[in-house]
Amino acid sequence: PTVELDDVTEVSNYVAATLHGVSRMRGGFPLSLRLIREMHAILLKSGRGAAKQPGEFRRSQNWIGGTRPGNALFVPPPPNRLDECLDALERFLHSEDAALPPLIRAGLAHVHFETIHPFLDGNGRLGRLLITLILCEAGVLREPILYLSLFLKSRRDDYYRLLQEVRQAGTWETWMEFFLTGVAETAEQAGATARDLIAMFDAHRQQIAGLGRAASSALRLHELMQASPIVTIQTVCEKLSISFPTASTALENLVKIGVVRETTGRQRGRIYAYSDYLALLDRGTDPLPP
């Protein structure tokens, strides 16, 4: 499948932001406003939204739906109330109420974050990432493999309606029923995606093995691109400690057999993507509108 460069960048940034958050927490750093800003900076470091203050809480009014605050579906708190709202969110994230199961905490925190809408762009992606990190921190997930985006995209109208009903009428029970259904369906989908990834990697390794003497460097490159699905020749040189011609040849070999796609169409500054891999990831992280 063809994946647009902006989509490739967006998914890659999402994965990088997720891994950064998990790594920081495993190192003892708390899930906090500072960590949320760090992840946002990675999420919007390139591609769509890169000009909308990555890593910085907004200093202007935003709105959801409509063309201005006056006809919007929902208007988040004004900038001068942002600090108190975010402080309340951080206190909730740090609260140690043993009676509140992690899944319930994650569902409540998601609504809290989406209602504050603290960034100019990327709130939806980061709000869903927050769910995953809360569950990782609580030990419910060993790895950050729960991506709710596909479920929420398929139930987009219900998602926005239920968020708005919570804000207007406090219908938390209905929201939580929807949220927990999404978690259950997404967990099943994650298992299917993992199986599909394993099968795809195996099939591509078999293709690469057919390259003969060129297979050795191509297999090393394939392994690298499972961790870094977007690369340049220079990054391959650095990460595999190989020469520029060797890296270039390995990439072109993967392009020829359809494992990798060159995304720019340029002769210089080429960017290569593991498109099938990104398409599978995109199946679970395809972002809703911010």
Q: What is the pLDDT of residues 43-81, one digit of tens each?
A: 999 888 888 999 999 999 999 999 999 999 999 999 999
Residue with the larger pLDDT of the pair 127 and 6: 127
Q: Does the pLDDT of residue 266 top 50, yes or no? A: yes
pLDDT band, very low/low/confident/very high, at 84 (cuts 50, 70, 90)? very high
CA angle, residues 273, 262, 253, in degrees to nearest 5: 90
pTM of the model: 0.74
Contact present, 134 and 174 (Cβ < 8 Å): no
Give the domain-ending residue among 147, 174, 191: 191
pLDDT band, very low/low/confident/very high, at 287 (cuts 50, 70, 90)? very low
157 and 226 housed in the same domain: no
Question: Does the residue 287 lie in any domain?
Answer: no
Question: Does the residue 80 lie in any domain?
Answer: yes
Residue with the larger pLDDT of the pair 163 and 289: 163
172 and 83 housed in the same domain: yes
Residue 28: give its domain's CATH number: 1.10.3290.10
178 and 258 housed in the same domain: no
211 and 168 housed in the same domain: no
Cβ atoms < 10 Å from Cβ of 4: 10
Question: Does the residue 37 lie in any domain?
Answer: yes
Distance CA 223, CA 168 (A): 50
Quote the domain boundaries for residue 255: 196-282
The per-residue DSSP string of 1-57 comes to ----HHHHHHHHHHHHHHHHHHHHHHTT--S-HHHHHHHHHHHTSSSTTTTS-TTS-
Distance CA 28, CA 274 (A): 33
> What value does the mean pLDDT take over residues 146-163?
90
Q: Which pLDDT value is given to residue 8?
A: 73
48 and 126 housed in the same domain: yes
111 and 224 housed in the same domain: no
Give the domain-ending residue among 191, 222, 239: 191
What is the three-class DSSP state of 144?
Answer: coil
Q: Which pLDDT value is given to residue 1?
A: 42
Residue with the larger pLDDT of the pair 85 and 189: 85
Distance CA 60, CA 82 (A): 10
Give the domain-ending residue among 164, 191, 218: 191
109 and 34 housed in the same domain: yes
204 and 178 housed in the same domain: no
90 and 125 housed in the same domain: yes
Contact present, 39 and 20 (Cβ < 8 Å): yes
Q: Does the pLDDT of residue 290 top 70, yes or no? A: no
Residue 271: give its domain's CATH number: 1.10.10.10
Q: Which pLDDT value is given to residue 203?
A: 98
Question: Does the residue 175 lie in any domain?
Answer: yes
32 and 104 housed in the same domain: yes
Q: pLDDT tens for residues 88-136?
A: 999 999 988 878 999 999 999 999 999 999 999 999 999 999 999 999 9
Q: What is the mean pLDDT of the chain?
A: 92
Q: Which pLDDT value is given to residue 55?
A: 97
Q: Does the pLDDT of residue 2 top 80, yes or no? A: no
Two tokens, residue 107: 């569902």
Backbone φ and ψ for 278, nearest 5 degrees, come out as -65, -35
110 and 131 housed in the same domain: yes
Total domain count, the chain:
2
Give catalytic residues, as residue numbers: 117
Distance CA 272, CA 17 (A): 20
> What value does the mean pLDDT take over residues 149-166?
93
Surface-to-core class of residue 89, CB atoms within 10 Å of its CB (0-12 exposed, 13-18 middle, 19+ buried): buried
Distance CA 193, CA 189 (A): 6
Closest Cα to residue 164, out of 209, 223, 114?
114
81 and 166 housed in the same domain: yes
Q: Which pLDDT value is given to residue 4?
A: 62
Q: pLDDT tens for residues 224-246?
A: 999 889 999 999 999 999 999 99
